[in-house]
Structure 1
Amino acid sequence: MGLQLMDPFEFLIGPDFICPLEYLFLLRLTHRKKVFLARSIIDGDTDRMGKRGRACVVVLGDLGRSPRMQYHALSLARQASLQVDIVAYGGSIPHEAVLKHPSIHIHTMAQPRFIQLLPKILYPVTLLLKAFIQFTMLLWFLFVKVPAPDIFLVQNPPSVPTLIAVKWASSWRRAAFVVDWHNFGYTLLALSLGRNNVFVSLYRWFEKHYGKMATGSLCVTKAMQHELEQNWGVSARVLYDQPPEFFRPALLEERHELFCRVKKDLCHPIGVYDIISRGLENQEPSETLFTTKRNDEISLKQNRPALVVSSTSWTPDENFGILLEAAVMYDRRVAARSEGSDTAEISEERQHLYPNLLFIITGKGPEKEMYEEKIKRLNLKHVAFRTMWLSAEDYPLLLGSADLGVCLHTSSSGLDLPMKVVDMFGCGLPVCSVSYSCIQELVKDGQNGLLFSSSSELADQLLILFKGFPGNCDALLSLKAGAMETGSSGRWATEWEDCAKPLITQAKSISSLCLYLTHIFFCWIISHKMSDQYRSCLKMWNDERENSKLVCLGVLHNLLCRIKFC
């Protein structure tokens, strides 16, 4: 049985008689899609509706510094067999697996850098201007440049203008809309403006209002899931961060090659000539600070420094000052032990009871230069610092070569977990982490890491863990075994398959069903509800009487008002 779609515009004398938005709405639904809809409904081919085989991942930030969204893109391409478009800012280079995957297409937006040059006194105006420019760029990419997807997957935060733009795009392009809640954007804004600021309240309203409109939601902790459900009206699935397969303990050969590559970075201290610079003097080409190569055999040096890694965004929610204070305390205590003896023999024994420490700090952020200036003034004897930015391929190798990780993340909301710790566990690296409300979901104190609340606690933990390093540090080895167990218990691909893929599939199905029902409803209105009045209009119009024409226009306007909200 065929279905005839009637065109309501053939008998209008022009669009001047109706609202332009009403005209465009009806024009889009009738002229552009009527043949497709009729054939799909007649043939029963609902698979053609809303199943385009594409996903769009939206990151209003540096893609290279958004590993979770990179992993989402890889899983959508590998495990869901979708073509994936990523809309994000440029900057850091993403992982090679993302760049080389044939089904992943990166669309880079230009950052409005000129806004940073505006004076701080205009900060409220700067926020509005930045949001407007970002919103305009997102609309261009999501409405025009990127092919229509089945699903939009967006990172939150930032919430404004991301959630608004993606919601509009998903409605216009009839796609599902899934939010991956990493944190709450309004809490990050409150760090600089204060909780009671009107912009923070407005930001929270937008975040909550548009977050509730999502087809589906993912989040990173059970604590965040509870907050979303109880206070936001959002039902979310917990997708814990898990390390991908390339986060693993590094082989000896990989360690040696890595330290050879970064030898120049290690030679240049942040401040004055330090303990690490002296250790690199007169080294052979086949030798590094940590390894040596003899007759094609690589081994770890027994007198090597302990390598401690911390990855930071150099932002206010990570108090890097705690680590500096702990380093000073460790340095003074080790110096006091090594210098407080009567004989050189005893002094040497005590000196090697605790190793020298090399802290390698990775990451980029606004407070980096400030802390580098502080490091220059420390004048440490047994501790050294290096700041680096490593490639996406070298960063896992660094974690897999380190002896201990330190996490300073405290969370602006207290509800998210640091992904850097997940990566460290994937490499079998134990972690000392700042303690806050939900960190116990990840770091089990005394099993795979230790929790601290002050710089003195962290200094004590460094002394406990590195006593007798490298051969007789039982406490460190015990935590390392726990970290290995945690890292090997789950991987990203498995977690995504169990938690995210069902939600993505469900969201796509809901989107397709809603589109299908909308099409049927619209066609039913056109073929049944409008037909009688439509034909009446045509008859009256053909009568060529002035009063009949006025009545006809009134009836048509009534019809348009009734269907414009469909």
Structure 2
Amino acid sequence: MGKRGRAAVVVLGDIGRSPRMQYHALSLATQASLKVDIVAYGGSDPHAAILKHPSICIYKMAQWPRLMQKLPWLLRYIVLLLKPLFQFLVLLWHLCVKIPAPDVFLVQNPPSVPTLVAVKWASWIRHSAFIVDWHNFGYTLLGLSLGRGSRFVAVYRWFEKHYGQLADGSLCVTKAMQHELAQNWGTRATVLYDQPPEFFHPASMEEKHRLFLKLNKELRHSEGIGDCISHGSKHMRTDDPNDSLITTISEDGVIAKSIRPALVVSSTSWTPDEDFGILLEAAVMYDRRVAAILNEDDSVKEEVLWDEMNNGKQNIYPRLLFVITGKGPEKEKYEQKIKNLHLKRVAFRTMWLSAEDYPSLLGSADLGVCLHTSSSGLDLPMKVVDMFGCGLPVCAASYSCIEELVKVERNGLLFSSSSELADQLLMLFKGFPNACNVLASLRNGTLEERSSAAWATEWEEHAKPLVLEVISRNSS
């Protein structure tokens, strides 16, 4: 079988919410000079670089009917059997019929069932190589909802391990996962650390201003909540259409306002492996502790504090504006909790941003917060990688291998409780915006590390040799 010059990237999920697989597709097309077919679900648009690339084609699969997700709980286990069968047939049809035969299938794991089974079958039928990119373990994610002792979880783990071992090659995201695969799964994997592509970078003042003007209405006004941003100090309110919440235009061009809230960004999938309640509790603690420190008694006092900050008294703690991006099953539950908080110095906004606006938001923020703790304890949060690519320091939830990514007191801090996160917010933002020495130091460390790594470099060194090797071996 000769080489075909094609690769297929397989994601049993929304391709717009699968950044690593998007980057794989771009690298396969640009660095390995292959034509790339992406087989995935629709929902969110991928980055424009994917949509515009002449060598990349996207095939969107039909999804499990939403009506089936609203069945009574007694039918839950029947659905657990029927849904993978439906997905298997749809996936196999696309891999074996809809797309041209590739030299190699590159598949994201998890989900493992039925993805690994379908891709392996397709690789047999089409005489193609088969590479698994291990982002996490699917059985540990299933265990979050069914319990680790469930028979379904045991069966799922068997399929994941068996078909993972049948792959012609494997990539993984951490050294800890590489060790686990080698010792307990009999699978040899190459570590490919996540790195952001070039379009994740610190935003210029002009880019910040354009973004904040675009999001002005969403940032200034909350749905059903009168908070410290939408109904706050007179410094927050303006009728100037060229004036945003964070930036303004002066004689010298676009500048950041001296009196502004600190912008904190967190991206979440609103799932059980990210306890968003920790962030809400930390916000409440920050609000109460600042109130106690400043002895706020009324709104008049609040105006005085803003005026003091404007006059250079840098012992003032700013208002915090948390922008939470993402989609997921627990979003509505937490949005209702946010409405019931009634905080004086903290506000929340939840939104979904385009693939172009999301990097701009990260590059414009003051701090990132990551709540990801990993169902297996062996993967790393891509959202932190993206934040670092934009020069954004991070406070991240601590777990077993997170220090492979977050270097404490260099590019971020780790927390294990809501109280610890609240302490970090107080420490980092004291004296905002001009006298936050620790925050400035973390940002400098993030920028220094950003300059030393790039996705294209990592992919060229670690992934490309594996891809070319399995293609060559399979075609000979």
Question: Structure 1 length normalisation: TM-score?
Answer: 0.80
From 413, 423, 429, the equivalent of 2:376 is: 413
Name the counterpart of 1:197: 150
Distance 1:165 1:280 in 2: 54
Asked if residue 498 in structure 1 is aligned to residue 423 in structure 2, the reply is no
Counterpart residue identity of residue 115, structure 1: M
Higher helix share: 1
Counterpart residue identity of residue 358, structure 2: Y
Q: Which stretch shows the higher mean deviation, 71-80 or 327-336?
A: 327-336
Name the counterpart of 2:168: 215
> What does 1:545-556 correspond to in 2, within 5 Å?
none
From 72, 87, 90, the equivalent of 2:42 is: 90
> What does 1:91-106 correspond to in 2, within 5 Å?
91-106=43-58
The structure having more radius of gyration, on CA atoms, is 1
Distance 1:384 1:397 in 2: 20
* Deviation readout 1:383-426 (Å, 9 max, x if unpaired): 00000100000000000000000000000000000010011011
Deviation at 1:281, TM superposition (A): 2.9
Name the counterpart of 1:250: 203
Name the CA shift for 1:347/1:426 in 2 (closer, same or farther; >3 Å).
Answer: closer
Counterpart residue identity of residue 322, structure 1: I
Name the counterpart of 1:118: 71
Structure 2, unaligned stretches of length 5 or more? Answer: none
Q: Is the 8 A contact 2:261 2:318 kept in 1?
A: yes
Structure 1, unaligned stretches of length 5 or more? Answer: 1-48, 514-566
Q: Is the 8 A contact 1:428 1:483 kept in 2?
A: yes
Name the counterpart of 1:455: 418
DSSP-derived class of the 1:69 partner: helix
Distance 2:199 2:70 in 1: 39
Name the counterpart of 1:332: 288
Name the counterpart of 1:156: 109
Name the counterpart of 1:142: 95
From 203, 228, 235, the equivalent of 2:188 is: 235
Q: Is the 8 A contact 1:225 1:238 kept in 2?
A: yes
DSSP-derived class of the 2:332 partner: helix
* Deviation readout 1:224-277 (Å, 9 max, x if unpaired): 000000000000000000010011100000000000101121133144211111
Distance 2:172 2:185 in 1: 13
Name the counterpart of 2:7: 55
Deviation at 1:509, TM superposition (A): 1.1
Distance 1:182 1:312 in 2: 16
Name the CA shift for 1:198/1:63 in 2 (closer, same or farther; >3 Å).
Answer: same
Counterpart residue identity of residue 20, structure 2: R
Name the counterpart of 2:27: 75
Q: Matched residues, percent identical?
A: 71
Counterpart residue identity of residue 301, structure 1: K
Deviation at 1:458, TM superposition (A): 0.2
> Runs of 4 or more off by more than 4 Å in structure 1?
340-352
RMSD: 1.6
Distance 1:145 1:201 in 2: 33
Asked if residue 481 in structure 1 is aligned to residue 434 in structure 2, the reply is no
Distance 1:307 1:347 in 2: 19
Name the counterpart of 1:390: 353
Asked if residue 425 in structure 1 is aligned to residue 381 in structure 2, the reply is no
Name the CA shift for 1:254/1:347 in 2 (closer, same or farther; >3 Å).
Answer: closer
DSSP-derived class of the 1:284 partner: coil
Counterpart residue identity of residue 255, structure 1: K
Deviation at 1:487, TM superposition (A): 1.7
DSSP-derived class of the 1:259 partner: helix
Name the counterpart of 1:365: 328
Name the counterpart of 1:12: none
Q: Is the 8 A contact 1:74 1:98 kept in 2?
A: yes
DSSP-derived class of the 1:293 partner: strand
Q: Is the 8 A contact 2:314 2:430 kept in 1?
A: no
Distance 2:447 2:239 in 1: 33
Distance 2:467 2:393 in 1: 33
Deviation at 1:352, TM superposition (A): 6.4
Counterpart residue identity of residue 71, structure 1: Y
From 313, 318, 334, the equivalent of 2:269 is: 313
DSSP-derived class of the 1:489 partner: coil
* Deviation readout 1:526-551 (Å, 9 max, x if unpaired): xxxxxxxxxxxxxxxxxxxxxxxxxx
* Deviation readout 1:172-229 (Å, 9 max, x if unpaired): 1101000000000000000000001000000000000000000000000000000000
Distance 1:302 1:282 in 2: 15
DSSP-derived class of the 1:178 partner: strand
* Deviation readout 1:70-105 (Å, 9 max, x if unpaired): 000000000001000000000001000000000000
Q: Is the 8 A contact 1:150 1:175 kept in 2?
A: yes
Distance 1:95 1:272 in 2: 33
Name the counterpart of 2:244: 288
Q: Which stretch shows the higher mean deviation, 488-497 or 201-210?
A: 488-497
Deviation at 1:497, TM superposition (A): 0.3
Distance 2:70 2:395 in 1: 38
Q: Which stretch shows the higher mean deviation, 372-381 or 118-127?
A: 118-127
Q: Is the 8 A contact 2:371 2:397 kept in 1?
A: yes
- Give the number of aligned pairs: 465
Distance 1:246 1:225 in 2: 28
Deviation at 1:296, TM superposition (A): 7.2
Distance 2:456 2:140 in 1: 30
Deviation at 1:347, TM superposition (A): 5.4
DSSP-derived class of the 2:230 partner: helix
